[in-house]
Amino acid sequence: MTWLSDFLRRPSISGWDVLDIAIVAVLVYELLILIRGTRAVQMALGASFLIGLYFLSQWLELEALNWLIRNLATYVVFAVIVLFQSDIRRALLHFGRGPFFRYFERAASSSETLEELVITATTLSVRRIGALIVIERGIGLRNYIEGGIPLEATLTYDLLASIFQPGTPLHDGAVIVQNDRVAAAACFLPLSVNPRVSRDVGTRHRAALGVTEESDAIAIVVSEETGIISLAVADTLERGLTGDGLRTRLRELLGGRRMRGLLPSERSSVA
């Protein structure tokens, strides 16, 4: 009965052991949440099968099978990195959005900037003029900015309305807002390939979702066909927003300091 008593004897558990187990449990849970509903689930099942087969080959002393799995392991790791680079990037972005990293986020956008964005979206919506405005947050969008036309101009309704006016050279593409300024226009963004996206959304909406899948940016979309205002946040699309609804969501997502000058209602009436 010695082996039974040794098996049932519980080792001493310290506070560091509890912390260690808790961290591993959180990481495993977040990983499972990330891969749920994606092709990585099948990959995880395949990896689990290979791991189980490896230990089985050791237990049954199947030398040839054990040698094959050990030599293929290195190449499998590189294959996973190449095939699932987008999923790995999305996972790292997800962890980078955690509460701890919020201390390193940039300062909140000013209320003047938010109001200019709301006025632009609502006015273009009434006129049925399509628009795509991407607002940079913690993760930089320099690679997309360099692919467009650099402006580095103060963000105003007049400037944005001129950019998206049909027939102008900068009408196609997206405007990227960086640090309360229009960094570039006519920027090309990656299109979302998410199969869950409704088929009735156009290229602008897919581009908005694509850039939010690759970063923590948010995107304002105005439909050219219907005039509906949408907001892309964290690879989800919020459609049918009103001016007040858009203002509320922007303040929640971007913060906002007290406006200097006119009140929102006064600025809307002026516009």
Cβ count within 10 A of residue 123: 18
pLDDT of 178-232, one tens digit each? 888 899 999 998 888 777 777 777 888 889 988 888 888 999 999 988 899 999 9
What are phi and psi for residue 263, nearest 5 degrees?
-75, 160
Q: Name the CATH architecture for the domain at 111-270.
A: 3-Layer(aba) Sandwich (3.40)
pTM for the model stands at 0.61
Closest CA to 111 of 259, 267, 211: 259
| Residue 238, token pair as written in the block | 């919020």
Say whether pLDDT at 139 is over 50. yes
Per-domain boundaries in the chain: 2-96, 111-270
pLDDT of 55-112, one tens digit each? 888 888 888 888 888 887 777 777 777 766 666 666 666 565 555 454 444 444 577 8
- What is the pLDDT, as a whole number, of residue 85? 67
